[in-house]
Amino acid sequence: MSKTIIISNRLPLQLKIENNKIEATPSVGGLATGMKSVHRDGNGVWIGWTGLTEEEIPADLVDDVVEATIEEQCVPVSLNQDDIDGFYYGFSNRTIWPLFHYFIEYAEFEKESWQSYKRVNEKYAEVVLDNIEEGDTVWVHDYQLMLLPALIKKERPDVQIGFFLHIPFPSYEVFRILPWREEILKGLLGSDLIGFHTYDYQRHFLSSVSRILRHEVSFNEITLKDRMITVNSFPMGIDYKKFADAAEKHDTAKNQSELQRRLDLHIDSTPDAKMILSIDRLDYSKGIANRIRAYEYFLEKYPQFKEKVRLVMLAVPSRSNVPQYQLLKKEVDELVGRINGKFASVSWTPIWYFYRSMPFENLIDLYTTCEVALLTPIRDGMNLVAKEYIATRTNKTGVLILSEMAGAAQEMSEAVIINPNNFEEIADALKLAIEMPEDEQIKRNKFLQKRLKRYNVEKWAEDFMHALHETTHKSDIVEAV
């Protein structure tokens, strides 16, 4: 029976070593949910890194790691600390991530980390090739594995390969800066289907293929000598039901979390004050520092809102051994301190700042309690937080302020859309959101919810797989002619 092989940098599970025993717990992220019908409900296999380096796994537990992952329908790729430093923290996160998010000055072009990226993509390819059988379909995810499609295609031209990029694909003028631009494009062109979140990323990619490799491209096809490649956009959705159900349950829950009790205390003490939510990984692409400055500007421009608003800011620690992330952490700490010092009164703190990951139930506490969500990425492939916020607003109130630079903005035009570099616009958007009449909020969210409910993460995965299988038929036709 043919199967689908999913490949991503990390496996959808957490491995822990306790009392010389390996424990694997499945993770519950958006991608894992979307892939469920492809992975768990079918006889799919997921290939990726476990999160533990070779140095971290005691020699007598190596087989147990393989066994524990196989129980979860996963196959591990074994990586050492050098691989993680060069491939992950190096080329993926110091070259591709900044360049593809238009932070050109942050991008490093180190030959060693490029070589590590190539070597690690080959390691993934080896594991994939060991697991492929005739008739299988392969779906590769994201910017860490852009060489993988061609490595697989070279050995197994019979296998259908799909690739999805979760981050933006930059314009040709930015992409061309990369010294290894040809190799990256050729790696991707091993796919039969290449998917992006938005039509703009698709367009940028096609333009790079045409100008750098001189292949013939049309609106959504690339013609190679011996085959065609389909390129299309598939805006990723969320597990809508999970968020909406959790919000419903939350409203009637008797056992409140400590966080919710604190939030309620705040509401009781200042009943007409509004809470503004911001949630992201602590990443420079998310525009967190700009957001705090824009909030400061808002309090200066509209002083009537002092003591009447509070910015609840959750930043999840991320890539903390990359220097730019350390600098950003320092900058955010300082900004929060400065603004709280400048505006706070004995009864009011303008920013509540949490630097940590939070359990799902606390995420729901925040989504359902805050009347406004302020998401201001400088660049963002999609931004699922924007979609999750709307899904939890089960009574349809709440205002989403969203950066036009997030892929999600293209499907969420009923949100208040802002340019994250324009403080004037952000300050006015905050005032608009705080004062927006409830019937207007409901009107906007009705449309947003309807769309998000219909195009959820399962539908996204289904559409991609359907388009991938369609490419099989197309290449049959090309060969027949």
Residues near ligand ADQ, by CB under 6 A: 30, 166-167, 236, 279, 281, 314, 316, 357-358, 363, 380-385, 388
Q: How far is the CB of 143 from ligand ADQ (least distance, A)?
A: 10
Pick between residue 186 and residue 281 the one whose CB is nearest to ligand ADQ: 281
Query: Cα-flanking dihedrals φ and ψ of residue 99, to 5°?
Result: -65, -45
Pick between residue 189 and residue 385 the one whose CB is nearest to ligand ADQ: 385
Instruction: Provide the residue count of the chain.
Output: 481
Tokens 């990723």 correspond to 236
117: Cβ–Cβ under 8 A, 6 or more apart, which residues? 86, 87, 90, 91, 92, 147
Q: How far is the CB of 405 from ligand ADQ (least distance, A)?
A: 10
Residue 462 burial by CB count (10 A; 0-12/13-18/19+): exposed, middle or buried? middle
CA atoms within 13 Å, Cβ hemisphere of 426: 27
Q: How far is the CB of 314 from ligand ADQ (least distance, A)?
A: 5
Q: How far is the CB of 271 from ligand ADQ (least distance, A)?
A: 27
> In the chain, count of helices (H) and strands (E)?
18, 17
Q: How far apart are CA 415 and CA 419, in angstroms?
A: 13
Q: How far apart are CA 49 and CA 13, in angstroms?
A: 10
Taking CA 137 as the corner, what is the angle to CA 131 and CA 140, rounded to the nearest 5 degrees?
Answer: 80
Pick between residue 254 and residue 356 the one whose CB is nearest to ligand ADQ: 356
CA atoms within 13 Å, Cβ hemisphere of 98: 21
Pick between residue 164 and residue 298 the one whose CB is nearest to ligand ADQ: 164
Taking CA 352 as the corner, what is the angle to CA 350 and CA 353, rounded to the nearest 5 degrees?
Answer: 130
Pick between residue 61 and residue 384 the one whose CB is nearest to ligand ADQ: 384
Instruction: Provide the residue type at 267 as one letter.
Output: I
Pick between residue 167 and residue 373 the one whose CB is nearest to ligand ADQ: 167
CB 32 within 8 A of CB 78: no
Q: How far is the CB of 55 from ligand ADQ (least distance, A)?
A: 26
Q: How far is the CB of 444 from ligand ADQ (least distance, A)?
A: 20
Q: How far is the CB of 23 from ligand ADQ (least distance, A)?
A: 20
Pick between residue 8 and residue 445 the one whose CB is nearest to ligand ADQ: 8
Q: How far apart are CA 232 and CA 411, in angstroms?
A: 16
Q: How far is the CB of 382 from ligand ADQ (least distance, A)?
A: 3
Residue 268 burial by CB count (10 A; 0-12/13-18/19+): exposed, middle or buried? exposed
Pick between residue 314 and residue 433 the one whose CB is nearest to ligand ADQ: 314
Give me the residues paired with residue 175 across strands.
Answer: none
